[in-house]
A and B are shown apart, each in its own frame.
Chain A
């Protein structure tokens, strides 16, 4: 019941919000609902027993087509569930000053939270797909209503692009369903049945259908161009959730669905995924370097950093012999941890963009400078987050990146070596960003800048604390992840 409670708490919150009138009540309800969800996620984390599925729930739902309401968490989904609940809560906290169309705003975010949690908790492809689509709609409205000047274009692009992916995804799911005997959409059962084993051309087709569906979400090159537009136009909270959680749904799909259900096709096509991953890493970083819009820069850096995830996933896909198991597990551990870390770091980066944008109404990096002297606290946090993003040891970003590369090197050394370039380009654009924003003489345009207030500080302090915790002692989270990846890769 823990998971169902976690899943439907935000929805319940949304219902209550819908009935309330006073803005304060609405905000308080939203905060309480997401806070309770976070507590449940924390509870699940503490009670989690590594190895296999925990908190499993299964009820028959549509027996005629073999669909059941099946939830559960393992080492792969738990960190993402926690990430979702954490960022969901922090966004509510950050949005306390929201003035425009308050009720809808919190309503959409609560429904969104439920959708995202559902994707990570569902163990039935039907349920998975429903939540996948549920998470799409509120984000469309969040961009479309509270977005920037080109919000209509961005919202529609986001919606259409992901919807096109969803169509491919649905088609793939259909084929899996009809090839399975008995017809089922239950993920653990499908893993056991392996319905497409032995029919490689068809399995390849399904692989690529699912690939398109998930790669759009990641987003992997060349399906990434919706992301910069969506990020630039989305309000701060939307960007945080979009980069922090929604992108992970794609990576998670590969690990939860593609890798275990289509092992042969995965092995066959791993090289293609690896190439796209390496392109995403290097290309995303290079394009990020050319940006002067802070949000666009972070968006392209996300393409690059999610490329690390895909590189790790591709290495796990390429795994062909038991001697390489440790490398595969390492790479996949890295991929999952990198998703978690990217959520924390990029979430923090978008909060930081929002905080400074609120004060200056500027996102152009060339029009900043000297913030170190004007707002030292902000500058200090920004520096820590920046160094976490460029993978400095001691902070979380390093561990994920390192494991992805370490594991991938044992399986596909060439791609790994090329991918390493992303590290130095990443360092270059991040340091340049820090320089342009924080260093030098303060700009005359903003004579009176206020440093972060308590609420903003709390939001970022939580994220920075996680960065240090994972960076300094990764064993607690990695033990959980490791149990999940071992199970998937058959260790």
Chain B
């Protein structure tokens, strides 16, 4: 068990040591630490593969788990499971990772973030190994996401430039869109099976009891996740941009890690897919559409890595077709052979780019003589990819074609056309790059870069033989427990298709007997459509990127104007009411008070006037009258004091009467 645990643990430890190292001593030795760790992991993986190969009986070779959390009374565990499928993947992943890391010694030499690069590579490898070893779908999902993170970090490794920034974000988000499907599938699995463990889902009694519709839903949801990671149409758009990362990273992504994850997911859940034939049919159709579409695009691309990127998409389509057509072996077999020759192609392309400092095929040519090692290994990989006997790709592609033939004729013929195009676009690349007049002078790359090429060339040549009668159909028996008889006429047919592709490429790009410009002019609308990659990027950009951004802006505006506006309106209304209240307060209530005051003053003034004119006037009138009377009386009387007193009394009496009557009223 410990030896299995060490396989992912060593790269993880290397990553942690490199990335979190405060000491420059450790950082300077980053590449040695990483390569040492992955070497040991590779050797341990080989041992595990040998053990698995000799392992008789049912069930996994290794199993072990620990509790991760508890939900209610249900324990959720993380664990490790090694069966034949994961044993095979362990070797592929560690081998390609090892070769890529050795290659990077030369390729990344002198990069200011050299140590960080090796840290990320180790983390990437760890994540993929963890994914492969998972004994449950939740853990697989967790590592799946970590794989996504690592590819994000590595695609955008040179993030001062805008293109890698865009590419890394695109890769993360497009695959994340697929992950929503995966997530949905994981939730549905838990809801129906009450467990995440593969053993209980795939080998338990429940699989037969669950409604086919539910299984189809789960399978399709999971497949949507696989479409994201394994770059199936229309979620393939991130992969061509992903070449913005350092070229060895592309090799790793295209061969052994990232894109292999989706194929592996379907392979891992294969019993569930088999129980959901509709879902399996969808897998086959999506795979075929992808392989055909990507192959046509690859014919029109002039970026050397771009051709390889679309080639990867196309080959992933083949793998999905194989799986969808009902052959687990075919899909996994092509995954393995493709890992070797595609890693070789990318590393070879890296060697070319390293030498001529351009990625444009139109600026290359004649490099065959300058870089013989690169050329010959590249040629082997190209032949393998084109499916030429007896190289690796020949065997694996034929397995897929055979499965497709039994599954559906239309899909088979599309796949056959794809085989023709594969040979065509690959030899177009080879002729443009290595033959013809040299426009730039190259030089062979250092040993650290060419040696991995040699190893991969050998593997690309012979790896296919493990699935031939020569080795007793070891591969088919190992993965599926049985094998199908190969069909000779189909082998001939596919070789014919590949040969035709090479022939056309030879005539068009070497002999120049076919004028490509005239041809493309003749089919101009179609050519423009393909050249623009069927406008999938544009549609996705418009609908999802620009669309959601616009929606966000509109909502932000609404949030500000409407939702917050309502709040502020409430506040404004409250303020308005309070202002009105203040006005009422000022004018009405205080006005009333003031009015009362004013009235009082007015009244007091009136009463003052009254006092002055009426009361006092009365008094004065009294006095005047008195005077008048007195002068009258003076005439009659002789001006006595009594007459004054009488008048005063009369006045008092009048007031008394007034007051009395007022009181009575």
Give the distance in Å from the alpha carbon of A416 to the alpha carbon of B70 in the complex: 21
Question: What interface size band does chain A fall in?
Answer: 35 or more
A149 on the B face (CB < 8 A) = no
Of chain B, the residue at the smallest CB distance from A421 is B180
A interface: dominant SS: helix
| Residue A193 is within 8 A (CB to CB) of chain B in the complex | no
Task: Report yes or no: B159 in contact with A325, Cβ–Cβ below 8 A.
Answer: no
Give min CB distance, B543 to chain A, whole Å: 14
**How far is B194's CA from A113's CA once the two chains are assembled, in angstroms?**
42
Minimum Cβ distance to chain A for residue B577 (Å): 14
Q: Is B69's beta carbon under 8 Å from chain A?
A: yes
CB-defined contacts of A423 to chain B, threshold 8 Å:
176, 180, 183
Which of the 9-residue segments A66-74, A178-186, A475-483 touches chain B? A475-483
- Bound-complex Cα distance A288 to B162 (A): 23
Contact at B159–A290, with CB atoms within 8 Å?
Answer: no
Task: Indicate whether A410 reaches chain B with its CB closer than 8 angstroms.
Answer: yes
Q: Tell me the bound Cα distance from A422 to B551 in angstroms.
A: 14
Complex contact B159–A372 (CB within 8 A): yes
| One of A290, A425, A427 near B556 (C-beta < 8 A) | A290
* Contact A393 B183, beta carbon cutoff 8 Å: no
Q: Which of B72, B165, B188, B564 lies in contact with A482, CB distance below 8 A?
A: B72
Segment of B142-150, B250-258, B329-337 in the binding face = B142-150
For B545, the closest partner residue in chain A by CB is A428
The one of B145, B194, B559 that contacts A225, using a Cβ cutoff of 8 Å: B559
Cβ-defined contact, A326 with B149, below 8 A: no
In the bound complex, residues from chain B placing their C-beta under 8 Å from that of A329 are 71-72
Contacts of B169 in A (CB 8 A): 431-432, 435
Whether, in the assembled complex, A488 has its beta carbon less than 8 Å from a beta carbon of chain B, the answer is no
Interface assignment of A52: CB less than 8 Å from any CB of chain B: no
**In-complex Cβ contact of B165 among A283, A406, A410, A440 (8 A):** A440
Cβ-neighbour of A291 out of B162, B184, B188, B556 (below 8 A): B556
Q: Which residues in A have their C-beta under 8 angstroms from that of B553?
A: 290
Return chain A residues, CB-CB under 8 Å to B559: 225, 283, 287
Check: B187 CB closer than 8 A to any chain A CB.
yes
Residue of B at shortest CB range from A283?
A: B555
The answer to whether B172 touches A427, judged by C-beta atoms less than 8 angstroms apart, is yes
Q: Across the interface, name the chain A residue whose C-beta is closest to B186.
A: A406
B512 is an interface residue with CB less than 8 A from chain A: no
A420 at the interface (CB under 8 A from B): yes
By the criterion CB–CB under 8 Å, are B183 and A475 in contact?
A: no
Q: Does A37 contact B (CB under 8 A)?
A: no
* A residues in contact with B68, CB < 8 Å: 473-475
State the CA gap A330–B194 with chains docked (Å): 12
- Chain A residue numbers with a CB within 8 Å of B552 are 286-290
* CB pair B180 A424 closer than 8 Å: yes
Task: Give residues of chain A (308-357) contacting chain B, Cβ–Cβ below 8 Å.
Answer: 325-327, 329-330, 333
Please tell me if A403 contacts chain B, counting CB pairs below 8 Å: yes
Q: Tell me if A491 counts as interface (CB < 8 A to partner B).
A: yes
Within A193-233, the residues touching B (CB, 8 Å) are 221-222, 224-226
User: Is B173 part of the binding interface, using a Cβ–Cβ cutoff of 8 Å?
Assistant: yes
Chain B residues within 8 Å of A482, by CB: 70-72
Contacts of B564 in A (CB 8 A): 225
Task: Say whether B70 contacts A393, CB under 8 Å.
Answer: no
Question: B111 interface residue, CB < 8 Å from A?
Answer: no
In the assembled complex, the Cα of A64 lies from the Cα of B202 at a distance in Å of 64
With A392-B145, A416-B187, A417-B184 as contacts: A286 and B72 at CB distance below 8 Å: no
| Interface mask (A395-412 → B, CB under 8 Å = 1, otherwise 0) | 000110001011101100
Known: A373-B160, A431-B169. A491 touches B69 (CB 8 A): no
Q: B177 an interface residue at 8 Å Cβ cutoff?
A: yes
**Interface contact B71-A439, CB-CB below 8 Å:** no
Q: Is A387 an interface residue (CB 8 A)?
A: yes
Determine whether the beta carbon of A475 is less than 8 Å from that of B67.
yes
The one of A222, A413, A420, A439 that contacts B180, using a Cβ cutoff of 8 Å: A420
CB-based contact B549/A420 at 8 Å:
no
B70: A residues at CB distance < 8 A: 475, 478-479, 482
- Among A392, A393, A403, A432, point to the contact of B71 (Cβ < 8 A): A403
A231 to chain B, nearest CB (A): 14
Whether, in the assembled complex, B73 has its beta carbon less than 8 Å from a beta carbon of chain A, the answer is yes
Flag whether A161 is at the interface (Cβ < 8 A): yes
Q: Quick check: is A367 within 8 A (CB to CB) of the other chain?
A: no
Total interface residues on B, CB under 8 Å, equals: 47
B156 within 8 A of partner (CB)? yes
Shortest Cβ gap from A297 to chain B (Å): 10
- Contact indicator A424/B176 (Cβ below 8 Å): yes
Contacts of B72 in A (CB 8 A): 325-326, 329-330, 482, 486, 491
Tell me the complex Cα distance, A474–B67, Å: 10
Q: Could you say which of B149, B162, B567 contacts A392, with CB atoms under 8 Å apart?
A: B149
Give bound CA distance, A78 to B193, whole Å: 32
Nearest A residue (CB) for B149: A392
CB of B656 within 8 Å of the partner chain: no
Question: Judging by beta carbons under 8 Å apart, are A439 and B165 in contact?
Answer: yes
Residue of A nearest to B551 (CB): A286
Interchain CB contact under 8 A, B149 and A222: no
Q: Does B191 contact A (CB under 8 A)?
A: yes
Q: In B106-150, which residues have CB < 8 Å from any A CB?
A: 141-143, 145-146, 149
Closest chain B residue to A334 by CB distance?
Answer: B71
* A440 CB contacts on chain B under 8 angstroms: 159-160, 162, 165
Q: Verify if A370 is at the interface (C-beta below 8 Å from B).
A: yes
Q: Which residue of A lies closest to B170 (CB)?
A: A431
Q: Please, what's the 1-or-0 string for A414-447, where 1 marks a CB less than 8 Å from any CB in chain B?
A: 0011001101110110011001001111000000
Determine the chain B residues whose CB is within 8 A of the CB of A405 once the complex forms. Answer: 183, 187
Chain A residue at minimum C-beta to C-beta distance from B191: A410
Q: Is the CB of B173 within 8 A of A393?
A: no
Please give me the residue from chain B that is nearest to A474 by CB atom. B69
CA distance A435 to B170 in the complex (A): 12
The CA of A84 and the CA of B69, in the complex, are separated in Å by: 24
Q: Residues 546-561 of chain B: 1 if any A CB is under 8 Å from the residue's CB, otherwise 0? A: 0011011101100100
B-side contacts of A479, CB under 8 Å = 69-70
Residue A272 is within 8 A (CB to CB) of chain B in the complex? no
Q: Does A130 contact B (CB under 8 A)?
A: no
Instruction: Tell me, yes or no, whether A148 is within 8 Å of chain B by CB.
Output: no
Whether A290 contacts B549 by the Cβ 8 Å rule is: yes
Most interface-central of A289, A291, A413, A416 (chain B CB within 10 A):
A289
Cβ of B477 under 8 Å from chain A: no
Q: Which of A287, A327, A370, A393 contacts B160 (CB 8 A)?
A: A370
Q: In the complex the two chains form, what is the Cα distance from A29 to B141 in whole Å?
A: 47
A462 at the interface (CB under 8 A from B): no
| Interface status of A160 (Cβ within 8 A of chain B) | yes
Kindly supply a per-residue 1/0 record for chain A positions 280-315, scoring 1 wherever the CB is within 8 Å of any chain B CB and 0 otherwise.
Answer: 000100111111000000000000000000000000
Distance, CA A413 to CA B217, complexed state (A): 13
Q: Does B149 lie within 8 Å of A387, measured CB to CB?
A: yes
User: Closest Cβ of chain A: how far from B41's Cβ, in Å?
Assistant: 20
Q: Does any Cβ of B come within 8 Å of A188's Cβ?
A: no
Interface residues of A in 147-162 (CB under 8 A from B): 157, 160-161
**B74 part of interface (Cβ distance < 8 Å):** yes
CA distance A289 to B559 in the complex (A): 13
Beta-carbon contact of B165 and A394 below 8 Å:
no
* A residues less than 8 Å from B621 (CB atoms): none
How long is the Cα–Cα vector from A491 to B177 in the complex, in angstroms? 36
Q: Contact partner of A394 among B67, B146, B152, CB < 8 A?
A: B146
Check if B149 sits within 8 Å of A420, measured CB to CB. Answer: no
Q: Does B596 contact A (CB under 8 A)?
A: no
Report the nearest B residue to A333, measured CB to CB.
Answer: B71
Contact between chains at A491 and B556 (CB < 8 Å): no
Chain A residue numbers with a CB within 8 Å of B162 are: 440
Q: Do the beta carbons of A287 and B159 come within 8 Å of each other?
A: no
List the 9 closest pairs (A to B, CB-CB), nearest first: A225-B564, A290-B556, A393-B142, A290-B552, A409-B187, A329-B72, A289-B552, A286-B552, A439-B159
* Given pairs A291-B556, A435-B165, 6 additional interface contacts (CB within 8 A): A283-B555, A333-B71, A394-B146, A409-B188, A420-B184, A475-B69
12 pairs from A and B in contact (CB 8 Å cutoff): A160-B571, A225-B567, A287-B556, A290-B556, A326-B73, A330-B72, A387-B149, A406-B187, A421-B180, A427-B176, A428-B173, A486-B72
